[in-house]
Amino acid sequence: MRNHLHYALWEGHMKILIQLTVLLFVFGGHSAMARGDAEAGKTKSAPCAACHGVDGNSTNPEWPKLAGQGAPYMVEQLRLFKNGGRQNALMSPMAAALSEQDMHDLAAYYASQTTTPEAADPELVELGESIYRGGIVEKGVAACTGCHSPTGAGNPAAKFPKLSGQHAKYTEIQLKAYRAEDLHGHQEGQRETANARIMVKVAERLTDDEIRAVAQYSAGLH
């Protein structure tokens, strides 16, 4: 009974945070999203291609695919890299030189590209689907569908990233990093946002096997 009550309260808190995030976007971020020029972003993306691929589909599974990712989410992450809210040895110096317009242009270009599909490990699909679609009630873990959608498309308006087609290894690394932040304080690579705090609370309750399974399942979504 206590576990179910804890889960219900936590889920209600998450819904409020999601609604607030959407409202902030609607009243403060919609005009900013329209500023991006995809053609200009394509030209500006040349230095990014070495890691993320010409069209945003990286070949290294530890580096994220940007193709098809929501533009508001990408702009937010670039801002964090630029202002130090998120630290990464490769991305921080790259973002330091970007203007606000550069960020919007790059985000618009990558958002317009098509994500290449990924295949989930069939041995992990059952567990991954169970967590992604139903959460883990007894551990207070909410279903991933609430933020990232049943198809893994994410929610661009709320800056919840697309997970479908993303490298499973990259998603696994990020979930473990969120979990490490909760255990050890601020860690390199983490983000200082309301959405990140949601993810910390999710990841702290997941085992390595559960993280691996949900990362594999979400990667294979279409």
Q: For the chain, where are the alpha helices, taking DSSP H only?
A: 2-28, 30-33, 38-44, 49-52, 71-83, 91-96, 100-111, 125-134, 145-148, 168-184, 194-203, 208-219
CA distance 202 to 40: 37
pLDDT digits (tens, 9 = 90+) for 173-197: 999 999 998 655 555 456 778 999 9
pLDDT digits (tens, 9 = 90+) for 90-115: 999 999 999 999 999 999 999 999 99
* Mean pLDDT across the chain: 88
User: Domains, the chain, ranges and CATH?
Assistant: 2-26+117-219 (1.10.760.10), 35-111 (1.10.760.10)
Residue 47: is its pLDDT beyond 70? yes
Residue 132: is its pLDDT beyond 90? yes
